[in-house]
Amino acid sequence: MATSYYPGCTLKTKARNLEVAALESASVLGLELVELPRWNCCGAVYSLADDNLLNLLAPVRVLIRALEQGNDKLVTICSMCYNTLARANRMMREDLEKRHTINGFMDEEPDYAGEIQVVHYLDFLRDELGWAELRKRVTNPLQGLKVAPYYGCTLTRPYEISLDPRPEAPTIMSDFLEALGATPTDFPHSTTCCGSYQVLADPQSALASAENVLGSAISSSADILALSCPLCEYNLGLRQRDLPTDIPTIFFSQLLAMALGLGADLCHFELNQVNTRKLLRERDFPLP
């Protein structure tokens, strides 16, 4: 059965490499994802102000769009979209007063009470296919590639929306990487913030956060850092031009596509850092 899919804005522009590789892989694995026919920005950040209901309109509207498709799940790939949608969904499910206010305001939409389940792509793979089955489907195991799995903040925090039952020491991405035949490394800053939107307000402190994460990944002797978020990719990938570190970064979906033997053109490596392409070339992964 087809499952509804929410891309988010950045996956349609700067992070096409994250989206295309994920969708092509899903299709090869027989998992049918159908993009919502109508959608808006998720809001990008879940507001921490308790009374800021205005910023919840965007994610709740997306959830209503999913409800209209008659599906009980909505799959996302971007970490920020996942976090914003999952938290908005939880709020609509659990906070009756806010639900009432929001439904009352959006009088042109059907009422929503958290009926949809928001699922991240990694969750979806684990639950629909399972790691053992994924391992069987891999045609081009990423043998000998040491990958540092980076979760950042938004896949596992807060606890209630965590992809992994152990948000303080998640293993879902390591399990995924092992299924691809890669060697996940264990590094202490895998759930430390990349600097996030501080890159706008306080770029120096964002750089310091990034350096912290990157240094930790390098110390774990990883060849490459696996990410699931375009903003993390900006802070940890692109911004390395302002840092002494030099470690390639790649989206988890690109690793999946590589392991499934999909063509490099589907991975849009031209959007990755130069050193990522260099590493892949060294490892004899064919680039267009």
Inter-residue contact 79 to 229 (CB < 8 Å):
yes
Q: Which three-class secondary structure state does DSSP give residue 97? A: helix
Report yes or no: 76 and 26 within 8 Å, Cβ to Cβ: no
- Residue of the chain from 32, 34, 38, 168 that contacts another protein (CB under 8 A): 38
Query: In the chain, how many H helices and how many E strands?
Result: 12, 8
Return d(Cα 261, Cα 283) in angstroms, integer: 14
Q: Considering the rule CB under 8 A, would residue 45 count as an interface residue with another protein?
A: no
Identity of the residue, 35 or 72, whose beta carbon is nearer to another protein in the bound complex:
35
In our burial notation (b when 16+ CB lie closer than 10 A, e otherwise), range 178-212 reads bbbbbbbbebebbbbbbbbebbeeeeeebbebbbb
Determine contact, residues 149/183, Cβ cutoff 8 Å: no
* Shortest spacing between CB 61 and another protein, in angstroms: 5
| Shortest Å, Cβ 55 to another protein | 6
Among 4, 22, 43, 46, contact with another protein (rule: CB under 8 A): 43
Taking the complex as a whole, the smallest distance from the CB of residue 8 to another protein amounts, in Å, to 8
Considering beta carbons, is residue 23 or 259 the nearer one to another protein? Answer: 23
Binding span for another protein by CB under 8 A among 23-31, 50-58, 83-91, 212-220: 50-58
Q: Does 40 bind another protein (CB under 8 A)?
A: yes
Contact mark string toward another protein, 60..99, x via CB under 8 A: -x--------------------------------------
Q: Which stretch binds another protein (CB under 8 A): 51-59, 70-78, 120-128, 142-150?
A: 51-59
* Closest residue by Cα to residue 91 from 59, 65, 121: 59
In angstroms, give the least distance from the CB of 18 to another protein. 14
The packing angle between helices 172-179 and 252-259, to 10°, is 20
Rank residues 10 and 216 by Cβ distance to another protein and give the closer one.
10
Place of tokens 């430390």: 192
Enumerate binding residues for another protein (CB under 8 A).
8-9, 12-13, 38-41, 43, 54-55, 57-58, 61, 106, 108
